[in-house]
Structure formats: C-alpha cells, structure tokens
Structure 1
Amino acid sequence: MPMEDHKLLYLQNLLQDNQNYYLMDYIQTVVSWEDEARNQYDRQIVLNSYQFAEVILLDGIFMIQFVLMCWDRKRRLPNDPIFSNQLMLRAVYRDMALLENQIPFFIVQRLFKMAFKTHQQNMPELLELVGWFFKYVTRKEKLPAWVMESEVKHFVHAISLSFFPPGMEAPNKRHEEHKEMKFPPSATELVAAGVKLRKRESESLLDIKFENGVLDMPCLILTDSVEHYFRNIIAFEQCYWKRRYLTEYMTFMHHLVDAPRDAELLIDKGIIENWLSNKEAAAQVINAFGKEHSMSRDHHFYSLSDELIKHCQRPHNKWKATFKRDYCSSPWVVISVIAAGLLLLLTIAQTVFSALSLK
C-alpha cells in the first residue's frame, strides 16, 4: 500500500508539470486501449474496465516517472523516500525488471508520448531511456539501432534483445541444424590442453573468440543484482522468445565452470569479476543457470564448443601444455632443464667417444 500511495504521488506530480491533459483524459484514453492491453496477458485479469485502467495508468506513469527521475535528478521530488534510501532504490530497480511486473510496452510508450512529446522536444525516446536505465546490465550506453526499431513487448524484452550477438540485424536468424550435441570442456581441461584464457574488451558477452589456441572472452560481472536481472531475462527467453542468447551463454559458461577451481581460473584471468562471497558462490550461480536449461541443436556456441573439443582431443596439445607447465614454469626450472639436457648430451658424447677409443 505505501508504494501505491507513492504511485499516486508520481501521477499527481506529472499532472502538475504537464497540464495539457487532465486525469480523466488519461483514464479515458487507457480505457480505449483495454482490449488490446488485455490480449497481451496470458491469463484473464479479474478487474472491470475502470479498475484495469487505473492499475495500468498508475503503473505506467510510475515506470515513466521513475526512469526520468533516474535520468534527470532535477525531476526528483523533495524528500522522495525512494531516492533517499539506497536499499529502497535498489529494490525498485529490481522490481522494474521482474518479469511478472511488466506491462505492455505500447501502453507505457503511448502514455510517455501523451505526457511529454507534445511540448518537450528535447526529450529522448522512451526506448533510449530504457537502454540508459539498464546499461549496467546490458553493458551498452544505448540500445542497437535495430532494437530501437523492433516491436518491443516490455522492458525485460528490450533488455533481452540487447544480448543478441554483435552485428545482428534481425532477431530470427537461425543456425544450421547439427546431428549431435557438443559441450565445451571445463576451463581446467582447456588450460591442461594448452588453451590460453584471455579477457576481451567488448560490450557483448557473446563476443567470444577462439583463435591460435587463445580463448578470448568478455568479462562477466557477477553481483546479486546481475543474477536477479539474468534470472528474469532467461525466464522470458524460455517462455516466449525464439532465440535464447543469454540462456545459451549461461549454458556455455555452466560447462566452462564445472567446479570452483574453474571459476578461480576465470577470476584470475579477469574473465569473471566476482562480487559474490567467494569463488564457490560464483560457480554455484553459473551452474544454477546452466543446469536449468539444455543446449538446443542450433546453439549459438555450437561451433565454438566443437573447436575447443577438437583442440583438447589432439594429444600434442596436451603434451606441449604439460611440458610448459612442468619444465618452463620459472627461469630456474628452464635453466635446470637446459643443464640436464646438456649433461645428458655430454654423457652420450662421452660414451660414444669411449666406445670409439676401445676400437
């Protein structure tokens, strides 16, 4: 109930600042969208037209006002309890990304245009604001151009689209079907086979490259908040979306991080930035995401997994890695190996010369 009162306060603030429309104008307009809005939900909503319009209007205006207040501090209300309490602020941020809290994006967008576009020319597009609002999760300052032109269902859908591979132009591109499933080796197994793990600077978590024995991966930041956002995006991908890029990324990571020692390897290389309690917690979070989902036959990382498996199956890669690990781990070890080699050569030469002198 306190939050419902706060929504009314934000609505009152909007009506005072934007006097082109009265409250009844907003209510009547939202009522006219009722059938279109109800069709966006997967179950019947037991509210009459006025009650439904009231809920949609309050939630829609609150989402708009909150995003705008985060974007522009001057819009914040004096002594606003949300912005004066970091715990409450973080809680509202999280609520904005809960899948069950979403309302149809077309409603929020129409309310936004109704409230602001008629007289504030410098106002960004709503999707631009959404992209900025969730940049900590998406790792992008702004959403790709093709996302801006997409038919977005709601905020979580917009975040999900931002995880599509770099250079992606359309969300329905499919990969070639494969006959068998391939799962990548763990980080420990890769290192044992001579693969070098290296942090890659990129805005996209999916921008992973494997060339010349080097696996380049963008940094995955693990915090409680990121886990929360990822869980809702993955839930949306599983239920509604044709392509599941974040799901596929976390499934790939699940196989890469088979145990805490794998997480420790990736943390040491800067590929995982761990803000959780310890490396065991990092491994548990990644494994929890991966275990819940299977790899589809058109998995985005199928080809990459196949390359990594083939590299690990070549015996000379393991022999070379073992030699480097056991005999080239430090300058003193290298010197000892060279000395031992020279001693062995001298011993062989002495034996040969002794045998020749006897003849």
Structure 2
Amino acid sequence: MILLDGIFVIQLLLIYGKQRKTLPNDQIFGKPLIVDDVRRDMTLLENQIPFFVVQRLFKMAFEKHWRGMPKLLELVCQFFKTVMRMEKLPESKESEVKHFVHAISLSFLRSVRKGQDRCYRKIKFTPSATELVAAGVELRRRENNRLFDIQFENGVLEIPYLVLEDSTEFYFRNIMAFEQCYCENTYLTDYMVFMHHLVDTPGDAELLIDKEIIENCLSNKEAAARVINNFGKENPVTPKFYFNSLSHELTKHCQRPCNKWKATFKRDYCSSPWAIISVIAAVVLLLLTVAQTVCSVLSLK
C-alpha cells in the first residue's frame, strides 16, 4: 500500500509540476476541483507517508537521468504553494522533512525570529483589538508574509497579512495537531492563541479587516471571529509561549491611564478638522478669559 501510494504521489507531483503530460481521461486533472480535494487528503495528519519512502522511490525512478529534473522537495513546495508561507524551503531542510505536513509547517518557521528573548514569566494574554485601540494602540498591516513576525513599537502593533478562507481551518488544524504531538515549539498554536485573544468579538474582527490585516473570504465578520476563536479554544499553552513577551508589553501599555486619556482625546476632539478647530477656539477663548481676568485684577490694584 505504501509503495502504491508513493508512486501515486510522485506521478501527481510530476504532472502538477508540468514534468509529465496529463494522461487521457485522467481521474484527477480531468475534473475540476479534484486536485484541491487530493491536496486536502494529503495534508491530513493520519494520511501521511514517511517522506524518506517517497524520496527513495523518486531516486530509484530518476537517479540515472537527474538532468533537468527538479528535486522532490521543489515539486512538493510547488504543489502546496497555496498553503505554504514561502515558495521554497531551505536546501538543508530536505533531509529533515518527516512528511508533507511537516514540510508545510517548516515553511512557517521563516517568520520565527532567531535568538528572540523568550519570556518565561507568568503567561499573559493580549487584550482584544478593541481594547488596544481604546488604549491608543495603532493597528497596522506588516508588509511581509512571515506570519509570526508581529511587532509592537512606539504604540504601533504591526501584524502580517492573514487570509481566512474555507480551507484555512482545515490546513491549520493539521499543522497544529502535528506541532502538539511531535514538536518542542508550537509556533502556529501559539499564534492562533494570540489571535484568539486579539479577536474576541466580531467587532475586533471588523477592526482587523478594515486595517487589511485580515482578508476575510468567509461569509461575514462573525464567521471570521468564530473561526479564529475556534482555533484558540482548548489549545495548551506552554511556558515557552512565543508571544508571551509581546502580550506583556501590550497589557502594560493598556494599563497606563495616560494612554487611554490620549486615545479618548484624539477620538473625541481630533477626529475631524471641525473638531480640532472647535478645540483650538475653546482654548483661545479660555486663554482670553484668563487674560481678561488677570488684567481686571491688576487694574483694581
């Protein structure tokens, strides 16, 4: 069975990568959307074939004529391009790949900052997007595709682009299951826990959608909030929680009263040119009143 599945996978990757022609009356490429169904089946954690088996079969088939033939991992990356966060894995990773889900999870690791100071204090979760904005935090889309590369600096929280579509939950669930069973660091799980607390309500989802941080391909903002909240539920958070330090910074910022006062002032009195003009006029009037009062007191003396 493994031999049959391995040969099927190699043939599938070759045809998808334009290395072989489609066969007449092909049962996969001859029908719309079947390729997407096969891709989903190949990313189920329970359906994984050991990568070294596929590698060995690939080598047996093409070792004598490698010229012009892409490497197996290149074909895998091309096939799962719509799922991965990078188009090509580092060359040194090929021997370490366990199976297809592992290959997809490795594509996310480029967004992990090497040498980042991990916070081992008490686990603290980030306030919601609405609470952050109320405390004066500016939400901004980060211009890269490194999912975990979230930064908070000078009151600005930059979050990379996230697409939510029907297949997102399916693929992420399998990667998270793999992380929790076999990996020391659960980066995607930690990311979804972070997003779960950031998007607490449909209003939070709407904020991130308006800022183009989330592209919502689902039916509505309620569906987007529900998908993100489902990811975060009942997921274990380890002392190595990747976003713990960031969550501490955001919580500390929200707990400072002056930040909320500044945000309220900007929202209520600086939201439009007319509001700013009215504030300036009020300040000028107050200063003139004070000056008049001082002059009256001095004249009496």
Give the TM interval when normalised to the shorter protein: over 0.9
| Greater mean alpha carbon deviation, residues 123-132 or residues 330-339 | 123-132
CA distance in 1, matches of 2:40, 2:87: 19
Q: Deviations over 1:279-312 (max 9, x none)?
A: 1111111110111213211111111111111111
Letter in 1 for 2:6: G
Inter-partner Cα distance in structure 2 for 1:338 and 1:219: 39
Which has the larger displacement, 190-199 or 131-140?
131-140
**Aligned match of 1:99:** 45
Deviations 1:42-67 (A, max 9, x none): xxxxxxxxxxxxx1111111111112
**Partner of residue 70, structure 1:** 16
Distance 1:162 1:136 in 2: 12
* 2:42/2:48 contact within 8 Å kept: yes
Shift of 1:75: 2.3
Q: Secondary structure in 1 aligned to 2:295?
A: helix
Does residue 242 of structure 1 match 2:184?
yes
Offset, 1:157:
0.9
Q: What does 1:177-192 correspond to in 2, within 5 Å?
A: 178-192=120-134
* DSSP 3-state at the match of 2:57: helix
| Preserved contact between residue 256 and residue 262 of structure 1 (Cα < 8 Å) | yes
For residue 352 of structure 1, report the CA deviation from its aligned partner.
2.4
Q: Distance in 2 between matches of 1:329 and 1:147?
A: 51
Which 10-residue stretch deviates more, 216-225 or 66-75?
Answer: 66-75
- Residue 299 in structure 1 maps to residue 245 in structure 2: no
2: CA distance, partners of 1:215 / 1:176: 19
Greater Cα offset, 110-119 or 74-83 = 74-83
Query: 2-side partners of 1:83 and 1:243: how far apart?
Result: 37
Output the amino acid matched with 1:133: F
Structure 2 residues without counterparts, runs of 5 or longer: none
Alpha-carbon offset, residue 100 of structure 1 = 1.2
User: 1 CA distance for matches of 2:112 and 2:47?
Assistant: 31
Shift of 1:341: 1.3
% same residue: 67
Mapping of residues 1-359 of structure 1, within 5 Å:
55-72=1-18, 74-148=20-94, 150-166=95-111, 176=118, 178-359=120-301
Q: Which amino acid in 1 is paired with 2:7? A: I
Contact 2:137–2:156 under 8 Å retained in 1:
yes
Distance 2:214 2:149 in 1: 15
1:68-90, Cα deviation, whole Å (9 max, x unpaired)? 21111752213323223223222
Kindly state the Cα deviation for residue 117 of structure 1 after the two structures are TM-superposed: 2.6
- Give the SS at the match of 2:149: coil
Asked if 2 retains the 8 angstrom alpha-carbon contact of 1:190 and 1:312, the reply is yes
User: What code does the residue aligned with 1:105 have?
Assistant: F
User: Which segment drifts farther, 213-222 or 126-135?
Assistant: 126-135
Could you tell me the TM-score, scaled by structure 2's length? Answer: 0.94
Q: What is the CA–CA distance in structure 2 between the aligned matches of 1:168 and 1:110, rounded to whole Å? A: 33
Larger relative CO (CA 8 A, sep 6+): 1 or 2? 2
* One-letter identity of the residue aligned with 1:162: S
Structure 1 CA distance, aligned partners of 2:224 and 2:127? 18
Q: Please, what is the CA RMSD of the aligned residues?
A: 1.9
Give a deviation string over 1:213-243, Cα, whole Å, max 9, x none: 1111110111112221111111111122211
| 3-state secondary structure, aligned to 2:188 | helix
- CA drift at 1:165: 4.4
Q: Which has the larger radius of gyration?
A: 1
Structure 1 portions without partners, runs of 5+: 1-54
Q: For residues 145 and 303 of structure 1, do their structure 2 counterparts lie closer, same or farther at Cα, with a shift above 3 Å needed?
A: farther
**Per-residue CA distance 1:248-298 (angstroms, 9 max, x = gap):** 111111111111111111111111111011111111111101112132111
CA drift of 1:175 comes to: 6.5
Deviation digits for residues 324-349 of structure 1 (CA, Å, limit 9, x no counterpart):
11111011111111111111222222
Distance 2:71 2:61 in 1: 12
Q: Which amino acid aligns with 2:203?
A: R
Q: Distance in 2 between matches of 1:306 and 1:131?
A: 36
For residues 166-203 of structure 1, what are the alpha-carbon distances to aligned partners after superposition, in whole Å with 9 as ceiling and x for unaligned? Answer: 3767xxx8975624111111111111111111111223
Aligned amino acid, residue 63 of structure 1: V
Q: Name the SS for the 1:198 alignment partner.
A: strand
Aligned length: 301
Q: Is the 8 A contact 1:175 1:298 kept in 2?
A: no
Task: Give the distance between the partners of 1:168 and 1:121, measured in 2 at CA.
Answer: 36
Shift in CA distance, 240/175, structure 1 to aligned 2, threshold 3 Å:
farther
